[in-house]
Amino acid sequence: MAELLTIGELSGRSGVAASALRFYEDRGLIASERAGSGHRRYAREVLRRVAFIVFAQRVGLTLDEIGEELRKLPGDRVPKRRDWARLSSPWRARIDERIAELERLRDGLTECIGCGCLSLDRCRLANPDDRAARRGAGPRYWVGDMRS
Ligand code: FES
C-alpha cells in the first residue's frame, strides 16, 4: 500500500467525507503534502489523527479544543504511543462524565426529567409544581440534579 494517501483513500479508510477532511485541513487539524499534480497527499499516520478528531468530537470536545490537543503532539516526528497517552489521560474525567450523562439519558426516557413540562403522570411526584425550575433552566434531572 502506498505511503501517501489520496484524499479519496483517506476518506475511504477513515469513513470521514472528503469535504470534512478538507475542512479539518483548513482548520489546521491535519496536514497534507501537495503532489506534483497539486493534489493533496496524506501520510498514513494522518488516519490516526482523523480517528482522534472524530472520537474527540464524540466525547464533546470542540474543534478548537481538539486543535489545542493536537498541537501538544510532536511536530517533527510521527507521534508514539506515549504521546497519545499523554493526550488522552485528562479525558478520563470527561469520558466518565459523558457516560454518566448517557446513562441518565437512557434511564430517563420513561421518567420525569424535570424539564418543566409536567406532562407525565410521574411528574406530579417527581417534580410537583415544577420544583425543579428553582435549580435552573433545562431538564434538571437529566443534567444530574437529584429528584427530591
Ligand atoms: S417530564 Fe417534564 S417535568 Fe416531568
Ligand 1 centre distance from Cα of residue 137 (Å): 13
CA 51 to centroid of ligand 1, rounded, Å = 38
Ligand 1 residue neighbourhood (C-beta within 6 Å): 112-120, 123, 127
In the chain the first and final C-alpha atoms are separated, in Å, by: 60
According to the model, what pLDDT value does residue 106 have? 85
Q: Is the pLDDT of residue 2 over 60?
A: no
- What mean pLDDT comes out for the span 92-101? 83
Ligand 1 mean position, distance from CA 102 (Å): 18
> What sign does the dihedral 108-109-112-117 (CA atoms) show?
positive
In tens, the pLDDT along 118-142 reads 999 999 999 999 999 999 999 998 8
pLDDT of residue 48: 93
Q: pLDDT tens digits for 51-84?
A: 999 988 888 889 998 999 899 888 788 888 888 8
DSSP structure string for 55-108:
HHHHHT--HHHHHHHHTTS-SSS---HHHHHHHHTTHHHHHHHHHHHHHHHHHT
